[in-house]
Structure 1
Amino acid sequence: MKGILLAGGSGTRMYPLTKSVSKQILPVYDKPMIYYPLSVLMLAGIREILIISTPRDVDLFKELLGDGSKLGMCFEYAVQKYPNGLAEAFIIGEEFIGDSPVSLVLGDNIFYGSNWSDVLKDAASLTNGGVIFGCYVNDPRAYGVVEVNEQKNAISIEEKPENPKSSYAIPGLYFFDNKVVKIAKSVKPSARGEVEITSIIKEYMRRDELKVELPGRGLAWLDTGTHESLLKASNFVEAIQKRQGLYIACIEEIAFRSGYITKQQLIELAQPLLKTEYGKYLVEVSHSINNAHVTM
Structure 2
Amino acid sequence: MKALVLAGGTGSRLRPITHTSAKQLLPVANKPVLFYVLDSLAEAGITDIGIVVGDTADEIRAAVESGGYADRLDLTYIAQTAPLGLAHAVRIARDFLGDDDFVMYLGDNFIVGGITEQVEEFRADRPDARILLTRVPDPTAFGVAELDQDGRLVGLEEKPRKPKSDLALVGVYLFTPAVHEAVRAIEPSDRGELEITHAIQWLIDRNLDVRSATISGYWKDTGNVDDMLEVNRTVLETVEPMVAGDVDESTTIIGRVRIAPGAVVRRSRIVGPAVIGSGVEITGSYVGPFTSVSDGCRIEDSEIEYSIVLPGSSITGVRRVEASLIGRNVEVTPAPRAPAAHRLVLGDHSKVQISS
1:187 to partner: Cα distance: 1.5
Residue-pair matches, total: 247
Instruction: Indicate yes or no: 2:206 matched with 1:221.
Output: no
Q: Are the equivalent residues in 2 in contact too, given 1:108–1:225 (CA < 8 A)?
A: yes
Q: Which SS does the other structure have where 1:229 is aligned?
A: helix
Q: Are the equivalent residues in 1 in contact too, given 2:64–2:70 (CA < 8 A)?
A: no
Structure with more strand by fraction: 2
Query: Aligned residue for 2:31?
Result: 31
Query: Aligned residue for 2:9?
Result: 9
Q: Are the equivalent residues in 2 in contact too, given 1:45–1:121 (CA < 8 A)?
A: no
Query: Aligned residue for 1:70?
Result: 71
1:39 to partner: Cα distance: 2.6
Q: Deviations over 1:164-208 (max 9, x none)?
A: 111111011101111212221222111111000111110121233
Q: Are the equivalent residues in 1 in contact too, given 2:179–2:200 (CA < 8 A)?
A: no
Q: Are the equivalent residues in 2 in contact too, given 1:43–1:120 (CA < 8 A)?
A: no
Query: Which ranges in structure 2 are unaligned for 5 or more consecutive residues?
Result: 243-259, 264-274, 279-356
1:44 to partner: Cα distance: 2.7
With the length of structure 1 as denominator, give the TM-score of the two structures.
0.77
Q: Are the equivalent residues in 2 in contact too, given 1:91–1:181 (CA < 8 A)?
A: yes
Q: Aligned-pair RMSD on alpha carbons? A: 2.4
Query: Aligned residue for 2:239?
Result: 241
Q: Are the equivalent residues in 1 in contact too, given 2:30–2:277 (CA < 8 A)?
A: no
1:128 to partner: Cα distance: 4.1
CA distance in 1, matches of 2:197, 2:90: 13
1:275 to partner: Cα distance: 5.3
Query: Aligned residue for 1:60?
Result: 59
1:150 to partner: Cα distance: 3.9
Instruction: Indicate yes or no: 2:148 matched with 1:149.
Output: yes
Larger Rg computed on CA atoms? 2
Structure with more helix by fraction: 1
CA distance in 2, matches of 1:16, 1:279: 23
**Structure having greater relative contact order (Cα 8 Å, sep ≥ 6):** 1
Give, as a single letter, the amino acid of the residue that structure 2 aligns with 1:43. Answer: E
Relative to structure 1, the CA distance from residue 124 to residue 65 in structure 2 (aligned partners, 3 Å threshold; closer, same or farther) is farther
Q: Are the equivalent residues in 1 in contact too, given 2:127–2:210 (CA < 8 A)?
A: no
Query: Aligned residue for 1:262?
Result: none
CA distance in 2, matches of 1:133, 1:69: 28
Give aligned-pair identity as a percent.
Answer: 32
Q: Equivalent residues in 2 for 1:143-292 (5 A)?
A: 143-208=142-207, 209-216=209-216, 219-242=217-240
Give, as a single letter, the amino acid of the residue that structure 2 aligns with 1:70. Answer: D
Query: Aligned residue for 1:86?
Result: 86
